[in-house]
């Protein structure tokens, strides 16, 4: 079955960097686009970023554009989120998610999330 496992979260000071990973299994990772979605504690969902199956195209929420970079290594079945210049408002549970096959933006499979806390 499809599994997505996020890792790399932790406590980081404002202005510092962190890289999240999402390891996929149970499907052909290299054939599917992927997303990151975050949820601040006690708040709603915020779509963060998207990458095509081959990594050629990426899109970002305005709130992270220029600071976050999504990438993937299809040989390792792994999705990444490089987060630079972190701010307290980036504190959230970060989920990776995969689309319904053949569509873009219907998030069918989700990991359990990794928590990022930005605090001094």
Partner 1 sequence: EIVLTQSPATLSLSPGETVTLSCRASQSIGSYLAWYQQKPGQAPRLLMYDASNRATGIPARFSGSGSGTDFTLTISSLEPEDFAVYYCQHRSNWPFTFGPGTKVD
Binding site for partner 1 (CB under 8 A): 35, 37, 44-47, 50, 59-62, 95, 100, 103-108, 110-113
Given the complex with partner 1, which of 24 and 37 has the nearer CB atom? 37
Q: What angle do CA 73, 84, 78 make, to 5 degrees?
A: 15
At closest approach, how far in Å is the CB of 19 from partner 1? 21
Question: At its nearest, how many Å lie between partner 1 and the CB of residue 84?
Answer: 19
- Give yes or no for a contact between 92 and 40, defined as CB atoms under 8 angstroms apart: yes
Task: Write down the least CB distance from residue 90 to partner 1, Å.
Answer: 16
Residue 13 or 31: the one with the smaller Cβ distance to partner 1 is 31
Closest to partner 1 by CB, 4 vs 14, is 4
Report, in Å, the least distance between residue 42 CB and partner 1: 11
Q: Which three-class secondary structure state does DSSP give residue 31?
A: helix
Q: Residue 5, exposed/middle/buried by CB under 10 A (0-12, 13-18, 19+)?
A: middle
Chain CA centroid to CA 63, Å: 14
């Amino acid at each position: 079955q499809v599994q997505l496992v996020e890792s790399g979260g932790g406590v980081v000071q404002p202005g510092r960097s962190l890289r999240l990973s999402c390891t996929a299994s149970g499907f052909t990772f290299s054939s599917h686009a992927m997303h990151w979605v975050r949820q601040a504690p006690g708040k709603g969902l915020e779509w963060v970023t998207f990458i095509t199956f081959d990594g050629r195209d990426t899109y970002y929420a305005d709130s992270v554009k220029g600071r976050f970079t999504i990438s993937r290594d299809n040989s390792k079945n792994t999705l990444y989120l490089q987060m630079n210049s972190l701010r307290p408002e980036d504190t959230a549970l970060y989920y990776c998610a995969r689309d319904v096959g053949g569509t873009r933006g219907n998030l069918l499979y989700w990991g359990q999330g990794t928590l990022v806390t930005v605090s001094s």
